[in-house]
Amino acid sequence: MKVVAVVEGQHFEIELAPDLEREGIYHVVLDGKSFPVEVVELKPTSITMGIGNRIGFFEFTRSRGRLTEVNLGNQSYTVEVKSPQQQQLEKLLARYSREGAGTSAQKLIHAPMPGKILELYVQEGDRVELGNVVAVLEAMKMENEITSTVDGIVKALKVKPGDSVARDQVLIEFV
């Protein structure tokens, strides 16, 4: 599995693969260097790992289901983890949002498929950044995060949790 980790604004491509012969051991490739990592203990807000001949205890904070901060010792790091596809999508969205700035289509978030709104993470008047998760849509028994396609302020919520929506139905409008 490949992920992109953004730590304090620096991007790192990381490849993770479980060791098929040893439980709890993963092979990690970072900056072309491969090394084993052992998951010693995993809890909802922390993980203890053996990295090489060292043990590390990491506490983490999540927001809206996503990792946002990692604490190691007395140091705190702002963190974001995403798939390479999500990273590419965010770059494309940023490029197209700059090119199409001011268009009315850009100021709306539409449902990508029919489903049911499970959660809304924004309210009218909230400031939202490009790529922020704004809602969760359940479709085909899967939870899909709906992300903002613009930087802006929420003008109106056109749905509420529990609502069934059609494909292309407007969910959120921005100023």
Residue 167 has pLDDT above 50, yes or no: yes
Distance of CA 92 to the CA centre of its chain: 16
Which helix (H) or strand (E) segment holds residue 19: the answer is none
Least trusted range by pLDDT, from 6-20, 85-99, 115-129 = 85-99
Q: Residue 153 — pLDDT band, cuts 50, 70, 90?
A: very high
Is residue 115 a contact partner of residue 152, using CB atoms and an 8 Å limit?
Answer: no
106-118 average pLDDT score: 89
pLDDT score of 158: 96
Q: Which two tokens stand for residue 10?
A: 């620096």
Is residue 138 a contact partner of residue 80, using CB atoms and an 8 Å limit?
Answer: no
The residue count of the chain comes to 175
Is residue 38 a contact partner of residue 24, using CB atoms and an 8 Å limit?
Answer: yes
Percent of the chain with pLDDT over 90: 45
Q: Domains in the chain, please, with CATH?
A: 2-82 (3.30.700.30), 103-174 (2.40.50.100)
Residue 79 has pLDDT above 70, yes or no: yes
Residue 49 has pLDDT above 50, yes or no: yes
Question: 0.75 cut: is pTM over it?
Answer: no
